[in-house]
Amino acid sequence: MDLLTTPLHDMFGPVTLSYVFLAMGLNIHYGYTGLLNFGQAAFAAVGAYTLAVSVASFDIPFVLAILLGVLAAVLLGLLMGIPTLRLRADYLAIVTIAVAESCRLIFSTQWKSHFHARDGVRGFVGGFRDLNPLPDYEGRVLSYNRNDLWVMIVGWALVALVCLLVWLLMRSPWGRVLKGIREDENAVRSLGKNVYSYKMQALVFGGVIGAFGGFIGALGNASVVPDDYNTDVTFVALTMLILGGAARVMSPVVGAMLFWGLFSFMGVLLDDVMSSNQITMIRWILVGVALMLLMIFRPQGIFGDKKELALDAR
């Protein structure tokens, strides 16, 4: 029974949720605009740390702390974008990876009185939990404690909101410019659009969505630890996006849920036969195999359009 309920439980839980946001942000960057951001974890980290430190160290009210987190993500986007977006696409990829690692190192080694190094920041979720009107939930199949449930309800509502916003934007002339840039930025430039500005908007918008992944992760764990923002976080989110199929509104959501569902399923399946270390390794190997199979048999992802993919070859 656990074999099904645990994955199902995890598919909707706070961890999946936080990845959904990361992947939704990457969908704006990579899926729609063609920007290679390998530092999405940095947006989550900066958002989460700003929220946590604002509340824990400076007693700033929860809602204001969230706004500060968003502001921090905007600044990070500008910081990454200003030097790189005029250059070739690969520069952004390199810089974002470097920025993400720098962020993590700063959080784990600097201002220890606020960041608390590897122990991380705690004691910032009170304001959020005080708003919680829910009791614990004991269903026949799934159960969640009231804290997780609160994160999930707020989180999934936000996911729905972001999906709606992305859908509205991507059918608008604004979205058309982004897709044009993805296909050929010089063509878009020749039509009089300020490509640099649009790329910056896309980077910041996707980054802010990523920061919400950071908020959700932080609130779900009730702690913010530097190791939660390793580079592989970004790559897992990218994998989820590609699994779902880039440049589709729902693909990061479904991709992330499916990914964590399978991940958790393998964990339960192998639980009796192996140590947890082995399980972790085997799981990652299987992820790699699954990704290869996906690329071979369904390169456009779950929602993608094979026809569109074929256009690249022309």
Partner 1 sequence: MPADVHNSPAGSPADSPGVPAAVAALAALETEPGVAKPDPILVADKVSRTFGGLVAVDVDHFEVQRGTITALIGPNGAGKTTFFNLLTGFDRADSGTRTFNGRSLKRISAAKVARMGMVRTFQLTKVLSKLTVLENMRLGAPKQSGERFWVGPFRFLWDGQEKENTERARELLARFKLDAKESDFAGELSGGQRKLLEMARSLMVEPELVMLDEPMAGVNPALKQSLLDHVRSLRDEGRTVLFVEHDMDMVRDISDWVVVMAQGRIIAEGPPDTVMADRRVIDAYLGAHHDTDITELDEETIASEAEAEIAAERLDEGREQA
Positions in the binding site for partner 1 (CB under 8 A)? 165, 168-169, 171-177, 179-180, 182-184, 186-195, 201, 205, 307-308, 311-312, 314
Beta bridge partners of 223: 122
Structure-token match 């900066």, residue found:
46
Q: Is 189 exposed, middle or buried (0-12, 13-18, 19+ CB in 10 A)?
A: middle
Minimum gap (Å) between residue 294 Cβ and partner 1:
20
CB of 167 to partner 1, least distance (A): 9
135 vs 173 by CB, closer to partner 1: 173
Six token digits for residue 297: 């048999």
Phi/psi of residue 110, nearest 5 degrees:
-100, 165
In the bound state with partner 1, the residue whose beta carbon lies nearer, of 250 and 270, is 250
Tell me which residue of 145, 136, 118, 125 sits closest to 221, measured CA to CA. Answer: 125
Nearer to partner 1, 18 or 201 (CB): 201
What is the per-residue DSSP string for 73-97?
Answer: HHHHHHHHHHHHTTS-HHHHHHHHH
Kindly state the smallest distance separating residue 204's Cβ from partner 1, in Å: 9
Nearest to partner 1 of 69, 304 (CB atom): 304
Contact 73, 241 (CB under 8 A): no
Closest to partner 1 by CB, 31 vs 261, is: 31
Q: Which is nearer to partner 1, 161 or 289 (CB)?
A: 161
Phi, psi of 122 (to 5 degrees): -130, 175
The encoded tokens of residue 157 equal: 């509502």
Rounded least distance, CB 35 to partner 1, Å: 16
Q: Determine the length of the chain.
A: 314
| Spatial CA neighbour of 245 closest among 232, 258, 260 | 258
Shortest distance (Å) from residue 31 CB to partner 1:
11
